[in-house]
Amino acid sequence: MDERRGLFVSGAVVQGTDHLAGGIGCQDALKSVRCEGDEAGGGVVLAVADGAGSRDRSALGAHLAVDIACRVLARELPGDDTDGTVWTEWISVRAKEVVDTWLRAALALPAATEHDEGADGTHVPRDAGEFAATLAAAVVRPPWAAFLCVGNCFGTVLTMDRDSTRERCHLVLPPPDERHSSLFLSSPGARMRVRSFALWDPDLTGVMVATDGCVPLTLDHPDVHGLPPVAGPLPSARFFVGLASALRDNGGDAEPLRALLSSPEAGRSGDDLTMLCALTGRGTRTGGR
């Protein structure tokens, strides 16, 4: 296997303890697909989505979101030899396409068919909010990775310098500060507020996207590292590097991730927990297997 380009994908969705206690089903979703065409060179798409807790049909909205993201992002990737502006433009256009497609699909569903009469007598669907969901997706084709995000999902990357045995994690897609307002795919202006970017790193060894329930379990407050609040949340190396090692040791089987997110300590999040990873063979291993 080409350790730089040969990717394996592992992911898990675990119902939140609070959802379980309240009789609320899991409202998260994940999906991953291989990019289309030989020229894609082994790229993968990762998508995770989180249905809004207070909306009955938001789980459906989340499933729609990951499905649409995978279909839109798996095709016609830029070539390896293109520069960053091409990738940036590509993911920006695709991000808006994902939001537009999701909105059209949600409005076409029966629960959204409450409608107003349009001026010409046509039916104008009133609201896609019943399906409100957040979304994070990444196209991973080392050394490139391109991200899009609507709402408070987040993403990290792992890198390992040449000749190094130490893998490092970076919070490249932080959860936004949404203490007083939240953004969903159904929110007004979501198309204009979708975040997207591309990065290039020859030392890229992994990409992880996750829903916001994972924030308190995977990101440290800066004061844990003696930094001021303005530094923002920091990815926990103990979590991300440790998890990547365990998954590599396990041949990509997601059991270590599922067990981790199902553990009693993870119950402190309360929310549904979803994480999806694409890892190269190059990176840390525990050496346990």
Partner 1 sequence: MTTDIGFASGLDERQPVVILLDASGSMARPASNPRIAEVDAALTTLFESVRSQARLRARVETCLITFGSRVRVYDAGARALVPAEQADPDRAFVPVDKLSPPPLTAEGYTCLEPALDVALRIAADRRRTLEARRLSVLRPLIWLVTDGAPSDERGRPLETAELAPLADRLRTAEAAPPPDGCVFLTIGVQGADRRLLQVLAPDATFMLEGLDFTQILQFLLRSSDRVSSIGTAGEVHREVARQAALQKAMADLSEQHL
Residue ranges binding partner 1 (CB under 8 A): 17-18, 21-22, 52-55, 129, 132, 165, 177, 179-182, 184, 215-221, 223-224, 229-230, 232-233, 235-236, 238-239, 241-243, 245-246, 256, 260, 264-271, 284-287
State the nearest-atom distance from the C-beta of 128 to partner 1, in Å.
Answer: 11
Smaller CB separation from partner 1, 155 or 235: 235
Smaller CB separation from partner 1, 42 or 232: 232
State the nearest-atom distance from the C-beta of 95 to partner 1, in Å.
Answer: 21
Closest to 7 (Cα-Cα) out of 208, 271, 192, 184 = 208
Helix, strand or coil, per DSSP, at residue 8: strand
Distance, CA of 251 to CA of 179 (rounded, Å): 39
State the nearest-atom distance from the C-beta of 158 to partner 1, in Å.
Answer: 12
Helix, strand or coil, per DSSP, at residue 139: strand
Distance, CA of 160 to CA of 155 (rounded, Å): 17
Supply 120's token pair: 């010409």
Q: What is the DSSP letter of 101?
A: H
Smaller CB separation from partner 1, 122 or 181: 181
Supply 233's token pair: 């949340």
Number of Cβ atoms within 10 Å of the Cβ of 23: 6
Distance of CA 4 to the CA centre of its chain: 21
State the nearest-atom distance from the C-beta of 45 to partner 1, in Å.
Answer: 26
Smaller CB separation from partner 1, 141 or 248: 248
Smaller CB separation from partner 1, 144 or 152: 152
State the nearest-atom distance from the C-beta of 29 to partner 1, in Å.
Answer: 16
